[in-house]
Amino acid sequence: MLAAMTTHHLEPDERTLHGFFSRDLPPVLTVDSGDTVVLRTLDAGWHLEPPPAPGVRGRHIERRGAGHALCGPIFVRGAEPGMTLEVGVGRLHPGTWGATFGGGRDTELNRRLGVADGPSHAVLWRLDPDRMVAEDQHGHTVRLRPFMGVIGLPPAEAGEHSTIPPRPSGGNIDCRELVSGSRLLLPIAVPGALLSAGDGHGAQGDGEVSGTAIECPMEVCELTLVLRPDLALAMPRAETPAGSLTFGFDADLNEAMAVALEAMVDLVGERYGVDRREALALASVVVDLHVTQVANGTWGVHAVLPPGAIG
């Protein structure tokens, strides 16, 4: 007889919030494989409410670490290095406000675009999660397509690790395809897995070209955690409504592409029982390469195999 699965709830507060990954962070919740955790998260900037005006910091929780406001860590019983954690993304219900920023950072891209000098431009959004529409202070509207920018596990190395770059164990992947109904597969590097999540995005384009999406709190983020001891991965994979995804992360975009493509060739070979040459030929016909984000120092590429593309 199968054991009943349990649903847990986590609220963002001084106990559960942290701005770094670390194997030494004590877990705030322990769950069994198959359990669901429903989180409420702050925006990445630790705000408790919308900023009162563009460029003005509103009421917030003081940061513990320099990075995104992450909720966790969550200890999964039985999780060991070498296994894979499957994170099923259920209901995602964003809050009613968000912000996007453009320019103001001295990066090579911003210098090329002529927006590196001076303050960043803040676009403040009113979100309507029922209609799935966002409207900014200038009256422009966009469709909401919420996902979590950060879902990840700490690396095996000791110490505090920044939340900004994505890693083989996940983190700040910023992939717009990780919407409700997706399953993210993360290699486990530490006992218990120690999952953390945050950085709600109301909408984002591939690339996240300004460095920010619609950065928003998430009133409901439902994650179901399943151990996959049968699956050994070196990099994250995902099953999404858009198809099967493989990822590559590197400071060199060409290398990130090669890592994502290599993982996709592996996936096609495994799934269809073909050798690597045939897998590459099939991938060239049906697989799309997308620039996940160019905002986090370690750039991302994801390869997409659409559903039913290979018969």
Task: Report the alpha-carbon distance of residue 309 to residue 242 in Å, rounded.
Answer: 11
Which CATH number belongs to the domain containing residue 276 in this structure?
3.10.28.20
pLDDT reported for residue 109? 86
Q: What is the per-residue pLDDT across 2-40, written as a single tens digit (0 to 9) for each? A: 556 899 999 999 999 999 999 999 999 999 999 999 999
Furthest-apart CA pair in the chain: how many Å? 64
Angle at 301 between CA 300 and CA 304, to 5 degrees: 145
pLDDT reported for residue 55? 66
One domain, residues 273 and 180? no
Does residue 124 lie within any of the structural domains? no
DSSP 125: E
One domain, residues 152 and 299? no
Q: Which of 232, 258, 283 is the last residue of a domain?
A: 232
Average pLDDT over residues 148-176: 98
One domain, residues 57 and 175? yes
Q: Which of 183, 213, 232 is the last residue of a domain?
A: 232
Average pLDDT over residues 169-175: 98
Does residue 99 lie within any of the structural domains? no
Which CATH number belongs to the domain containing residue 202 in this structure?
2.60.120.580
pLDDT reported for residue 1? 41
Average pLDDT over residues 259-269: 98
Task: Report the alpha-carbon distance of residue 103 to residue 223 in Å, rounded.
Answer: 33
One domain, residues 189 and 294? no
One domain, residues 187 and 282? no
Could you tell me the residue range of the domain that residue 175 belongs to?
A: 7-94+148-232
Task: Report the alpha-carbon distance of residue 86 to residue 151 in Å, rounded.
Answer: 11
- Helix residue ranges per DSSP H, the chain: 108-113, 253-272, 276-286
One domain, residues 184 and 54? yes
Average pLDDT over residues 130-153: 97
Q: Which of 190, 211, 232 is the last residue of a domain?
A: 232
DSSP 21: B
Q: What is the per-residue pLDDT across 212-260, written as a single tens digit (0 to 9) for each? A: 999 999 999 999 999 999 999 999 999 999 999 999 999 999 999 999 9
Residue 245's beta-bridge partner residues?
Answer: 238, 304
Cβ atoms of 178 and 223 closer than 8 Å: no
Domain count, the chain: 2
Q: What is the per-residue pLDDT across 91-106, written as a single tens digit (0 to 9) for each? A: 999 999 999 999 988 8
